[in-house]
Chain A
Amino acid sequence: MTEIFGRFDFDVIAHWIVPGERVLDLGCGDGSLLKFLKVEKGIRGYGVDNDPDNVLAALRNGVNVLQFDLEKGLAGVDDDAFDHVIMSLSLQTVRHTVPLVKEMLRVGHEAVVSFPNFGHRSHREAIARGRMPVSESLPYQWYDSPNVRFFTIADFEALCAENGIEVREGLFFDEGRAVTEDPNLNADVALYRLGRG
Chain B
Amino acid sequence: MKSVGVVTPQRASFDVPIALSGGATLPAFDLVYETYGELNAEGSNAVLVCHALSGSHHVAGVYADQPNNVGWWDNLVGPGKPLDTNRFFVVGVNNLGGCYGSTGPMSTNPATGKPYGADFPVVTVEDWVAVQARLADRLGIACWAAVLGGSVGGMQALEWTLQYPDRVRHALVIASTPKLTAQNIAFNEVARQAILGDPDFHGGHYYERDTVPVRGLRLARMVGHITYLSDSQMAEKFGRELKNGRLSYGYDTDFQIESYLRYQGDKFTAYFDANTYLITTKALDYFDPARDYGGDLQSALARAKASFFVASFSTDWRFSPERSREIVYALMHNGRDVSYAEIDCSAGHDSFLLDDAHYHSVVGAYFDRIET
Q: Which residues of A contact B (CB under 8 A)?
A: 22, 44, 46, 52, 55-56, 58-60, 62, 64-68, 76-78, 81
Please report the C-alpha to C-alpha distance between residue A141 and residue B329 in the assembled complex, in whole angstroms.
Answer: 37
- Which residues of B (346-372) have their CB < 8 Å from a CB of A? 358, 361-362, 365-366, 368-369
- What are 18 A-B contacts with C-beta separation under 8 Å? A22-B335, A46-B332, A46-B338, A52-B343, A52-B344, A55-B339, A55-B341, A56-B365, A59-B365, A59-B366, A59-B369, A64-B339, A65-B339, A66-B332, A66-B338, A67-B340, A68-B340, A78-B333
- A64–B337 CB distance below 8 A: yes
Contacts of B362 in A (CB 8 A): 55-56, 59
A56: chain B residues at CB < 8 Å are 358, 361-362, 365
CB distance from A84 to the nearest CB of B (A): 15
Q: Which 6 A-B pairs have the closest CB atoms?
A: A76-B329, A59-B365, A66-B340, A67-B342, A60-B365, A65-B339
Query: Which residues of chain B have a CB within 8 Å of any CB of chain A?
Result: 325-326, 328-329, 332-333, 335, 337-344, 358, 361-362, 365-366, 368-369
Nearest-neighbour CB distance to chain A for B296, whole angstroms, equals: 13
Instruction: Tell me what chain A mostly uses at the interface: helix, strand, loop, or mixed.
Output: mixed
Residues of B within 8 A of A76 (CB): 325-326, 328-329, 332
> For A52, what are the chain B residues with a Cβ–Cβ distance below 8 Å?
341, 343-344, 358
When distances are taken between beta carbons in the complex, the residues of chain A under 8 Å from B338 are 46, 64, 66
CB nearest neighbor in A for B340: A66
Judging by beta carbons under 8 Å apart, are A77 and B329 in contact? yes
B161 to chain A, nearest CB (A): 16
Chain A residues contacting B342 (CB-CB under 8 Å) are 67
**Whole-angstrom distance from the CB of A64 to the nearest CB of chain B?**
5
Beta-carbon contact of B328 and A66 below 8 Å: yes
Question: For the complex, what is the distance from the CA of A163 to the CA of B258, rounded to whole Å?
Answer: 58
Taking the closest CB of chain A, its distance from the CB of B315, in whole angstroms, is: 15
B361 contacts A77, C-beta separation under 8 Å? no
Cβ of A31 to closest chain B Cβ, rounded Å = 10
Task: State in angstroms the CA–CA spacing of A64 and B310 once bound together.
Answer: 11
Q: Report Cα–Cα, A29/B339, bound state, in Å.
A: 14
Whole-angstrom distance between the alpha carbons of A183 and B362 in the complex? 42
